[in-house]
C-alpha cells in the first residue's frame, strides 16, 4: 500500500485518543481523584485531543466496587460530574470488555449519556460476542470500535476472517492492539496494510493501540499511521499497564495539524504523572517488559517482578524461559 | 530500495558496535573504573558483539587529562591493560573527532596497537579534514568509518556530495549519525536508502548511530537496517549523552543470528548501569530531550535542565522556543 500523507502535511482522518485513565488505571486500580480527571479533561480539550477514554464499563457482578476506583465502572453520573454536558469538540469514550460488562443494563441510550464512543475489547476467539455488543451499542446510538487484543499472537487468516465478519456490523473502526508490545515497525505496517485493505472495503476506519515493551510504541503508532491507520491511542507520559503506551506528548509533537498542542499535556506531566511515579505507581519501559515483549507473551510475570522491586534481570530471563516453555 | 532480509533470517553483513564507554562516557566524563571496562569487554565477547568502542582519542593539547577519565584519550597502553592481545573475535574501536585529535602523533601503526577501527567523527562542513584523517589511519593499517554528525540538519545535496567524495577514500563505512534524535523512521529509511545507494557504488558499508530523544533510537536503527545498513551502534541500557542511544539489549534480542546473546548484557545492567543511575549519572529519555528532538536542535539546553533537577517542562518549552529563535 502506498504511504498515506507525509511528514509535513495534515491528515484530516486522524483521531487522537487519550487512553490515560483507562490504561493508566490498570497501574493504580483506577484510583484517581476528580481534580486530576478534570484537569486532564481540560488539558485534552486545549491540546486538541479528539477522544478521551474515561475507563471501563466493568460488570459490578464480576468486580467488587470497593476494590477499585470509580473509573473501573464509569457510571454515567460520575462522567457527567467531570464533563457536565461536555460542550467541547472532545468526545468521551469508555471501554467494555467482552464477557466482563453488563452492557444491556449498564450502557444506556446515547441520548441520555455523556459517552460518545464504546470501545469493545475482545480476543480474536470471541468475535461473535463482540458483534452482539457492537450491535447493541450502535442501536443505542453510540459510535463503536472493536479492539482485537494480543494481535501479535493471532494468525493472519483468523484476523482476515474476523475483520470480514466485523466489516458487516455497524462498527466504526477496527483496532490493532499490540497488548504484548511484541510488534516491530515492519509488522505494524504489514498489519495496518491488512486492516486498512479490509476496512476500506466496508467503509470503516482503523486504529492502533501500542505498548512500549521494546520502546516501539510511538514508532509502531506512526508507522501504522503511514499505511492509513487513523485512530491513534496514546497516554500522558505513556502511563499504562506494564511498559505503558505511546506517549501522548510524543504523538502530539509529531502531528502537523495546528489544532494539536503539546503544552497543556506538559503541564499535566509536571503536575501529576511524575508525582504518581514518585508515589510508587509503576509503569514504563524496563528490562523485564523488554523480555516479555521479545518473547511475545503477556507482561504478567514482568509486572510481578517490578512490583517486587527485583533487579536480577538475568535470573528473571531464565525464569521466563521456564514459564513460557512449561 | 527493496527490503534487505526479513524478521526470521540472518544477515551476515550485520556488525553490532557497542559504544557504551564512548557515548556513555559523555555522561560521567569517562570516569569508569577498570573492573567495569573489563567486565563489559568480557560480556561483549560472550554476547557476540562485533566491535567495542573504548572512547575518544582526544587531543591532550586541547583537553586537560586531569579533567577526564582515561577513556577520553584511549592510550593504547590503557586499552591493552584491559584486552591484552585481544585474542577474541571482538574488534576494538576508538573515535577521533575532526579538529580535536592529534592523529599524526597519537594514532600509531596498527601493527603496534590493540585498536582495529578508527571512527572519524565530523560535521558535514569538514569533510576534507576528515578525508585526511581517513587516509592517515588507513595508511597506518586501520579500518575506518566516517561518522557524519547532526545529519538531521544537513541538506540532501550536501550529503550526496560528501558521500561521493568519501566513496573515493579508503573508508570502510559511512555512518548516519542522528545526534539530535530528530529523525523519524521514514526519514531513517530514506537516508539509509541514499547512503546505501552511494555506498554500493564504491563497495562501502553503511552504519547508523541513533539517539533516543523521541524513543525512536531502536526503531530508527532496525528500520535503517531493513534498507541495507549493516553497522549498528548501541549502548548497554542505552547509556549515552542526553536521551541516550539504541539499547544494546533491545538490538541483541531482535537480531536472529544465534551468535548474539542478550544474557551477558543483562548481567552488566543489573551489576553496573542501574547503579550508575542510582549514583547520579544521568541519561535516558525525558521530556526536555523530547523537546530538543522535536525542535531538531542540540540537546545542550535539555542536558542543563536535567542537571539542575528541574521539572518545569512547560516553562522549558517556552525557553527553548526563545533559544532557538534568538
- pLDDT (tens digit per residue) in A25-67: 999 999 999 999 999 999 999 999 999 999 999 999 999 999 9
- Using the predicted structure, report yes or no on whether residue B166 has a pLDDT greater than 90: yes
- Could you give all domains of chain B from N- to C-terminal order, each with its CATH number? 15-278 (3.20.20.70), 287-324 (no CATH)
Q: What is the pLDDT of residue A187?
A: 97
Contact (CB<8Å) A247/B186: no
Contact (CB<8Å) B294/A254: yes
Cite the DSSP H helix spans in A184-312. 185-202, 217-226, 248-254, 263-268, 274-278, 287-294, 300-307
Contact (CB<8Å) B287/A249: yes
pLDDT in tens, B87-100: 999 999 999 999 99
Give the pLDDT mean for B237-244. 98
pLDDT in tens, A74-86: 999 999 999 999 9
Q: What is the CA radius of gyration of chain B?
A: 19
- Residue B55 to residues A119, B13, B19, B43, B242, Cα–Cα distance (Å): 51, 24, 8, 17, 17
Task: pLDDT band for B325, please (50, 70, 90 cuts).
Answer: confident
Q: What are phi and psi of B148, to 5 degrees?
A: -85, 110
Q: Is there a contact between B148 and B175 (Cβ–Cβ < 8 Å)?
A: yes
- Using the predicted structure, report yes or no on whether residue B215 has a pLDDT greater than 90: yes
Q: What are phi and psi of A222, to 5 degrees?
A: -75, -25
- Give the dihedral of Cα atoms A104, A105, A110, A116; nearest 10 deg: -80
Contacts of A248 in chain B (CB under 8 A): none
Contact (CB<8Å) A219/B217: no
Q: Which residues pair with A18 in a beta bridge?
A: A52, A234
pLDDT beneath 70, residues of chain A? 1
Question: Residue A234: CA atoms inside 13 Å, Cβ hemisphere, count?
Answer: 30
Please tell me which of the candidates B186, B267, B314 has its beta carbon nearest to residue A314: B267
Q: Quick one: which H or E segment has residue B17?
A: strand B15-18
Interface of A with B (CB under 8 A): 3, 7, 184-187, 212, 214-219, 222-223, 226, 247, 249-250, 253-254, 262-263, 266-267, 269-270, 274, 285, 287, 290-291, 294, 311-314, 317
Displacement of CA A85 from its chain's centroid (Å): 24
Distance CA A220, CA A104 (A): 35
**Is A277 exposed, middle or buried, given 0-12, 13-18 or 19+ CB atoms closer than 10 A?**
middle
Q: What is the pLDDT of residue B2?
A: 78
What is the interface pTM, i.e. ipTM, of the complex?
Answer: 0.96
Q: What is the pLDDT of residue A3?
A: 87
- On average, the pLDDT of chain B sits at 97
* E strands present in A87-242: 91-97, 117-122, 143-148, 173-177, 205-209, 231-234
Distance CA B89, CA B290 (A): 37
Distance CA A133, CA A98 (A): 8
Displacement of CA A285 from its chain's centroid (Å): 17
What number of C-beta contacts closer than 8 Å exist between A and B? Answer: 102
The DSSP call for residue A62 is T
pLDDT in tens, B43-84: 999 999 999 999 999 999 999 999 999 999 999 999 999 999
Interface of B with A (CB under 8 A): 3, 7, 184-187, 212, 214-219, 222-223, 226, 247, 249-250, 253-254, 262-263, 266-267, 269-270, 274, 285, 287, 290-291, 294, 311-314, 317
Q: What is the pLDDT of residue A324?
A: 84
Q: Which residue of A has its CA nearest to B317?
A: A263
For chain A, the maximum distance between any two Cα atoms, rounded to a whole number of angstroms, is 55
Distance from CA of A311 to the nearest CA of B (A): 6
Amino acid at each position: 500500500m502506498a504511504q498515506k500523507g507525509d511528514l509535513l502535511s495534515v491528515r484530516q482522518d486522524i483521531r487522537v485518543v487519550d487512553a490515560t485513565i483507562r490504561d493508566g488505571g490498570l497501574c493504580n486500580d483506577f484510583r484517581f481523584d476528580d481534580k486530576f480527571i478534570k484537569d486532564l479533561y481540560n488539558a485534552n480539550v486545549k491540546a486538541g485531543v479528539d477522544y478521551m477514554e474515561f475507563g471501563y464499563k466493568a460488570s459490578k457482578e464480576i468486580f467488587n466496587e470497593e476494590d477499585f476506583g470509580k473509573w473501573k465502572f464509569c457510571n454515567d453520573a460520575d462522567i457527567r460530574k467531570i464533563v457536565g454536558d461536555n460542550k467541547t469538540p472532545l468526545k468521551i469514550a469508555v471501554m467494555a470488555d467482552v464477557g466482563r460488562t453488563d452492557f444491556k443494563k449498564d450502557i444506556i441510550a446515547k441520548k441520555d449519556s455523556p459517552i460518545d464512543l464504546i470501545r469493545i475489547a475482545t480476543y480474536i476467539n470471541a468475535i461473535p460476542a463482540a458483534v452482539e455488543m457492537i450491535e447493541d451499542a450502535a442501536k443505542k446510538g453510540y459510535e463503536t470500535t472493536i479492539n482485537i487484543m494480543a494481535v501479535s499472537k493471532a494468525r493472519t487468516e483468523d484476523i482476515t476472517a474476523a475483520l470480514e465478519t466485523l466489516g458487516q456490523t455497524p462498527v466504526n473502526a477496527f483496532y490493532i492492539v499490540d497488548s504484548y508490545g511484541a510488534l516491530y515497525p515492519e509488522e505494524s505496517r504489514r498489519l495496518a496494510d491488512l486492516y486498512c485493505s479490509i476496512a476500506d472495503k466496508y467503509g470503516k476506519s482503523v486504529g492502533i493501540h501500542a505498548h512500549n515493551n521494546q520502546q516501539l510504541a510511538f514508532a509502531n503508532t506512526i508507522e501504522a499511521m503511514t499505511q492509513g491507520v487513523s485512530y491513534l491511542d496514546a497516554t500522558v507520559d505513556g502511563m499504562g499497564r506494564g511498559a505503558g503506551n505511546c506517549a501522548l506528548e510524543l504523538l502530539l509533537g509529531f502531528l502537523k495539524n495546528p489544532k494539536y498542542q503539546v503544552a497543556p499535556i506538559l503541564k499535566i506531566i509536571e503536575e501529576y504523572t511524575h508525582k504518581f511515579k514518585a508515589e510508587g505507581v509503576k509503569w514504563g519501559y524496563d528490562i523485564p517488559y523488554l523480555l516479555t515483549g521479545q518473547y511475545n507473551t503477556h507482561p504478567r510475570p514482568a509486572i510481578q517482578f517490578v512490583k517486587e522491586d527485583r533487579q536480577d534481570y538475568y535470573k528473571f530471563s531464565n525464569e521466563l524461559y521456564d514459564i513460557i516453555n512449561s
